[in-house]
Chain A
Amino acid sequence: MTSTHASICERPTWSRGQEWTGWHAIEKDLWPPADGYNGFTDAQRIALADQLVADTVDLAERTKDITFTAPQLGNGAKELLDEVATGKVTGEEEIWSHTDLWDFQANIDGARTAFEALKPALEQKDKTLAVTLTERFARVQDLLDQHREGDGFVLYTTLTADQIKQLADAVNALGEPLAELTAAVVL
């Protein structure tokens, strides 16, 4: 799974010696830096696009029948929030396209899906935490919705410092109790 992940979304700074492929390579080519970037040839573009589609189909195929344990779900939700806190809310993830809020939303969707799966069990064991998490997911979603435009979001670069801080605070406010989810459900 790691190699497929690398192939699809390896960041340039994380290159491990092999050819840089996947979304971020394409991203840079679609939103090229002002200088010092030569771009791909058409043949390279076709190859990159074909591989991205093939890798994505492969990933979807390999993950559709996976079953998760409760700790895997809980920890997975926590790690999705970690990614938002260290990469999306800082604008580092989509450094050329600035489409970080799409990634932000996708990670929140993933974390919420994992939470929803555990929610019935959590409500039996720790009702207060279940309420807190429900509220804080809603708070993050409410903030994200304020930045919607068309069928997506505004670019990260149009956010003000205050708006970014609001988002970061909401992510931390959700991340902290979300990290308690696994122990609350399993113990």
Chain B
Amino acid sequence: MRLSRRHFLSIVGASTAGIAATSVTGCGSDSDRAAAGTTAEADGVVAFHGVHQSGITTPAQDRLHFAAFDVTTGSRDDLVGLLKAWTDAAAAMTKGQDVGAFGAMDGPYIAPPEDTGEAYGLPPARLTITFGFGPGLFEDDDGTDRFGLATRRPAALRTLPHFPGDNLDPRRSGGDLCIQACSDDPQVAVHAIRNLARIGFGSASIRWSQLGFGRTSSTSGSQTTPRNLFGFKDGTSNIKAEQPDVLDRSVWVGPGDDTAADWLVGGSYLVVRRIDMHIETWDRTSLQEQEAIIGRSKKHGAPLSSGDEFTEPDFTLNAADGSPIIPRTAHVRVAHPAHNGGSQILRRGYNFTDGSDGLGNLDAGLFFLAYTTNPDMHFIPLQTNLARNDALNEYIQHTGSALFAVPPGVTEGDYIGSSLFAP
């Protein structure tokens, strides 16, 4: 039996503590795995199986590796085979185990190892692996039904419209499949994408990918609100895991929402936007102007109208000269549900810095990830409003875009997206 990364650590830990290592032999047995479920918190294991996919309401991890794929096979069987192989590998890696029967170190000596090995000895680090299906899986650009799925295409799954100010790079946009790997350890997240990409060769090829180094949202009330690269707290009013009613209304696709695509019930839509930030010019902006653009205080994140971080903004409050205290174009005003028909989305974005731009500036920004029950109702009107009215537009530019349907969770023995391929 191969050694799981989790067990490897247990042994190291036990040895260091001077306890006989023999007490943790028998690694990889079913009973050990079952026990892992009850000690998930301590082990940093997030359950892969469930009603919904993990990595959505899971408290946002610190690191991201995201990849979008083009499906290169024309065979439906190959595609299903890929999803089955990905499911098995994801289930293993999220438990801190290697990919394959022999893993990274214990395979035949004259063969390349099944697992690439760089996560060997690392804990699971709350790894989640979340899969999504792009519009191209159902119909390619020429309208060809590649895999006999066109009649099951969710109505809202199509290329997002061009928003004012978009400067999209086709090499950072679109994709037939996507994988969001999140973990508290960047090496664990990269290991996951690397091994899944390797499994995909011949069936799917990476179209583009993105690393994120710091979460920009809280998805649980247990987390503090992090800061984005503008230095402001981001995601203060995000949907949280502790709000099941809001999740049902705003994140999960419900029965009857889209009868032609009932396979998506329990799933969601994932909106992906690569948002470049002009951080150098932002940094030359006065604190007063920065706060006027965001509509919140930089230090505490409180709305300019008063209170603390979690006080609701009062948009009716005026200054002595009659101008609104939270300016008309302030980000918090333009993005607020009250000015967007009540729309809320679950944001799960990450800060990124991809080197520099060759002109002495960092290539930096926010990799926006958001889950929504219906992009037509929630994201598209919101982004249209933001693209037209948000003062922040002077300091940002959207350079990548993609939309995916995120299938529901997978039960033990099943594979991701099986409801889509069921007869």
Partner of B281, one of A86, A169, A183: A86
Q: Give complex CA distance A182, B288 in Å.
A: 12
> At the interface, yes or no: A27 with Cβ under 8 Å from chain B?
no
Q: Does A179 contact B (CB under 8 A)?
A: yes
B280 CB contacts on chain A under 8 angstroms: 85, 172, 175
Picked from B164, B281, B286, B359, the residue with its CB within 8 Å of the CB of A15 is: B164
Separation in Å of the B18 CB from the closest CB of chain A? 56
> Once the chains are docked, how many angstroms separate the CA of A165 from the CA of B359?
5
CB pair A14–B165 under 8 Å, yes or no, is yes
- A168 to B69 CA separation, bound complex (whole angstroms): 35
Across the interface, do B359 and A89 meet the contact criterion of CB distance under 8 Å? yes
Cβ of B164 and Cβ of A14 under 8 Å apart? yes
Number of residue pairs spanning A and B whose beta carbons lie under 8 angstroms apart: 49
Q: A138: which B residues are within 8 A, CB to CB?
A: none
Q: Which residue of B lies closest to A82 (CB)?
A: B281
By a CB distance below 8 angstroms, the chain A residues around B361 are: 85, 168, 172
- Interface membership of B108, Cβ < 8 A: no
Interface size in chain B (residues, C-beta < 8 A): 17
Distance between Cα atoms of A37 and B280 in the complex (Å): 35
Q: Is the CB of B360 within 8 A of A168?
A: yes
Q: Are B286 and A182 in contact (CB under 8 A)?
A: yes
Count contacts on A: residues with CB < 8 A to the other chain.
Answer: 24
Task: Say if the beta carbon of B289 comes within 8 Å of chain A.
Answer: yes
* CB of B63 closer than 8 Å to a CB of A: no
Q: Which of B164, B278, B358, B394 contacts A165 (CB 8 A)?
A: B358
Query: CB of B15 within 8 A of chain A?
Result: no
Which one of A16, A78, A172, A179 lies within 8 Å of B360 (CB-CB)? A172
> If the complex has contacts A179-B285, A182-B286, are A165 and B166 also in contact, measured as CB distance less than 8 A?
no
Q: Which residues of B contact A (CB under 8 A)?
A: 164-167, 278, 280-281, 284-286, 289, 358-361, 388, 394
- Enumerate 22 A-B pairs (CB-CB under 8 Å) in ascending A order: A13-B164, A13-B165, A15-B164, A81-B281, A82-B284, A85-B361, A86-B278, A86-B281, A89-B359, A165-B358, A165-B359, A165-B360, A168-B360, A168-B361, A172-B280, A172-B361, A175-B280, A175-B284, A179-B285, A179-B286, A182-B286, A183-B286
Q: Which A residues contact B (CB, under 8 angstroms)?
A: 13-16, 75, 78, 81-82, 85-86, 89-90, 161, 164-165, 168-169, 172, 175-176, 178-179, 182-183
